[in-house]
Amino acid sequence: MTTSQRLYQAARPIWEACLSHPFVTGIGDGTLSVEKFQYFMLQDYLYLFDYAKVFALGVVKAQDRKLMQTFSQNVHSILNGEMNIHRAYMQRLGITEEQVSAVKPALDNVSYTHYMLAVADMGGPAEIVASILACSWSYAEIGQALAKIPGAADHPFYGEWIKSYASEDYAATNQALIDLMDELAEGASEAQFDRLAEIFVNCSRYELGFWDMAWEMRP
């Protein structure tokens, strides 16, 4: 198996828990309260700023131009692509930029992003991608799963979110990260793989915790 396939297997039980989480299933069947979704979107918006910073540290740690460009392009994609989904929903919900700037990240959110930033600070490009990939890949899995539910992608409120993460563009971006993970981990020792797996599984656990946080609307 490739490194990415082994990582997938290591995190699979956690991702299955994410797929069956009431917040995620609520998006799929349209029963999730708008209040919970609004809380989630604001917290996720704040999360993405730090997520982009993890990619930015990849630019710093990269040793060649191609890898620097890859990390840099992902920073641009987050700030000017994925975050547009959030901005569009905020507009629909009547949330102003002033209101967004007043929101404080929840403790679970801070814990997750600080872990990723610490990994990026102490590790190299492979560790950085391992920390990033859990989020990207799990959202691709969720988007694809929800899109298979009849009528879910056509829901008047949640349909746009589902279509965004089930899109071909998002799948291609995620696959590029999977391929990069395998490229950077080529020739890694078992000890090195164990470290990548630890990071990937920890970030997957944080992903599950993020859904818990949003469901309970924790401070």
User: What local confidence, expressed as pLDDT, does residue 34 receive?
Assistant: 97
Instruction: Give the list of residues 6+ apart from residue 47 with CB closer than 8 angstroms, or none.
Output: 105, 109, 112, 113, 210
Q: Is 207 a catalytic residue?
A: yes
Q: Is 135 a catalytic residue?
A: yes
**Cα separation of 50 and 130, whole Å?**
15
Q: Which residues of the chain have pLDDT under 70?
A: none
30-61 confidence digits (pLDDT tens): 999 999 999 999 999 999 999 999 999 999 99
Q: Which candidate in 18, 135, 141, 203 is catalytic?
A: 135
Q: Which domains does the chain have, with CATH numbers?
A: 3-216 (1.20.910.10)
Q: Are 119 and 131 in contact (CB under 8 A)?
A: yes
**Cα separation of 61 and 148, whole Å?**
39
**Cα separation of 70 and 92, whole Å?**
32
In the chain, the amino acid numbered 5 is Q
Burial class (CB in 10 A: 0-12, 13-18, 19+), 165: buried
User: What local confidence, expressed as pLDDT, does residue 98 receive?
Assistant: 87
